[in-house]
Structure 1
Amino acid sequence: MKYLIAGLGNIGAEYELTRHNVGFLTLDRLADVKGLTWESNRLAFTTSYKVKGRQLFLIKPTTYMNLSGRAVNYWLKELKIEKSNLLVIVDDLALPFGKLRMRPKGSAAGHNGLKNIEETLNGSDYPRLRFGIGDDFPKGRQVEYVLGRLGNRELNELPEAMDRAIDMIEAFCTVGINQAMSQFNQ
């Protein structure tokens, strides 16, 4: 069984430790834990590893957030992976910081990366792991908040949340989404 795990974010130093990049950050942590090396490939940085006989292909799209669907669609086709074996890791304003929620499908909820994936894959019926970034910003300052650097409190809480996300990713691939949701969704 093959799985595509897509962490959403933006490339470039100016985006590196921003809330919008928690998808990238989570996959970077997973790669560090597993001793993996990223390669620059078509439309994404890629790496892979096996867990319990399953092959996990990790991608960090280099298309920038708003065109994430191009990379996701390309790698699904290139690797011949079913949409049901795709897991997109994405930041979510509607969840408190560090709260994680896995869903088999759902709306883009205003997220441009998810909107583009929906357009490219012709629907919202693909699994996603929503990573809460909170909504602690004044009215009209959403973009600044999302693209803003993580604060000290968030940086301290981030490793624990990313480790939970890694457990959820591996559960998704080994026991299936329903069991992973019942085990991990808070």
Structure 2
Amino acid sequence: MHLFVGLGNPGSRYARNRHNIGFMAVDEIVRAHGGMPWRKRFQAETAEIVVGGERVLILKPQTYMNESGRAVAEAQRFFKIPLSDVTVFYDELDLPPAKLRVKVGGGNAGHNGLRSITAHCGNDYRRVRIGIGHPGHKPLVQAHVLGDFAKAEEPWVEDLTRAIADHAALLAKGEDASFQNKIHLAMEAKGWTDVKRPGEQAGKDKSNAG
């Protein structure tokens, strides 16, 4: 079994926050691949699905971001899932909006959810880094990540989370480079080649829209 973890904060107040794009990504995976209804266990909301012939437990910790690792560790221990089969979807300040990168291990870059998972489970899990862009100045970071996506951002968020769901089987099979490339091509086909932060000029390269 694989464990796909989406990071976010529980409750309607945070539902559309940039910090919750990990929740949005795994919600879309469950919608695309069906499976059992959401259940409350492991201090989280969980759903079991089959992706590319692989059993996957989807987990959304309900502990708030900075305690995410407690829920992840409970589920990992219960199902005896090796850390190499744990994939975490989260918001990445250091990537431009609408960009995605996959890596195993590495630093936590100040992300409290990753810090908690590393403390409870170890560091060598797969990270799906979903770019939300940096606001430009450190004092603006908290308001940026805990702010809702702007109306102009919602189309790329929908296209990106849908692409993640469409190609999730590659992640379940460990084909990280192929997954990352498929996402890049899908977003390029939609015209999302140079997405700006809110307040910056332009949002979508119309010449490449498809």
**Alignment-derived partner of residue 66 in structure 2:** 66
**Alignment-derived partner of residue 53 in structure 2:** 53
Identical amino acids, percent of aligned pairs: 34
How many residues align structurally?
A: 184
SS at match of 1:152: coil
Post-superposition offset of 1:168: 4.5
Post-superposition offset of 1:136: 3.0
Deviates more, 1:81-90 or 1:176-185: 176-185
Q: For structure 1, which runs of at least 5 residues remain unmatched after alignment?
A: none
The superposition leaves residues 127-170 of structure 1 with CA deviations (integer Å, 9 ceiling, x where unpaired) of 11000011135551110110001101111111111122224532
The superposition leaves residues 37-96 of structure 1 with CA deviations (integer Å, 9 ceiling, x where unpaired) of 311223110001112321011000011100011011111111111100000001000111
Once residues 71 and 168 of structure 2 are traced to their aligned partners in structure 1, the CA distance between those partners, rounded to angstroms, is 19
Matched, 1:132 2:122: no
**Alignment-derived partner of residue 142 in structure 2:** 143
The amino acid of 2:45's aligned partner reads F
RMSD over equivalenced CA pairs, Å: 1.8
**Alignment-derived partner of residue 163 in structure 1:** 162
**Alignment-derived partner of residue 94 in structure 1:** 94
What TM-score do the two structures reach when normalised by structure 2? 0.81
The amino acid of 1:30's aligned partner reads I
**Alignment-derived partner of residue 19 in structure 1:** 18
Preserved CA contact (<8 Å) 1:100 1:165: no
Once residues 181 and 151 of structure 1 are traced to their aligned partners in structure 2, the CA distance between those partners, rounded to angstroms, is 25
Runs of 4+ in 1 over 4 A off after TM superposition: 181-186
Once residues 6 and 66 of structure 1 are traced to their aligned partners in structure 2, the CA distance between those partners, rounded to angstroms, is 14
Deviates more, 1:10-19 or 1:167-176: 167-176
Post-superposition offset of 1:29: 1.5
Preserved CA contact (<8 Å) 2:29 2:164: no
What TM-score do the two structures reach when normalised by structure 1? 0.91
Residues 183 and 104 of structure 1: CA distance in aligned 2, closer, same or farther (over 3 Å): farther
